Amino acid sequence: MNIFDRFRLDGKKAFVTGGARGIGKYAAIALAQAGADIAIIDRDMEPAQAAAEEIAAFGTRTLAVGADVSEYSDVQSMMVKILSEFGTVDIAFNNAGICINKNTQEMSLEEWKKVIDINLTGIYLTAKAAGMVMVAKKAGSIINTGSMAGHIIPEPQYHCAYSASKAGVIHLTKSLAAEWGIHNVRVNSISPGYIDTGLTQAVQRRSWIERVPLKRIGKPEDLQGAVVYLASDASSFTTGSDILVDGGFCCW
Q: Please list the active-site residues.
A: 147, 162, 166
Strands (E), the chain: 13-17, 37-42, 62-66, 91-94, 140-145, 185-192, 242-245
**Separation of alpha carbons 162 and 76, rounded Å:** 25
Which residue(s) pair with 195 in the sheet?
218
- According to DSSP H, which parts of 138-196 are helical? 160-180
Q: Which of 10, 18, 132, 127 is nearest to 65 (CA)?
A: 18
Q: Which of 97, 242, 252 is nearest to 177 (CA)?
A: 242
User: CB count, 10 Å around CB of 225?
Assistant: 13
**Separation of alpha carbons 85 and 63, rounded Å:** 8
Nearest-Å Rg of the Cα atoms of the chain is 17
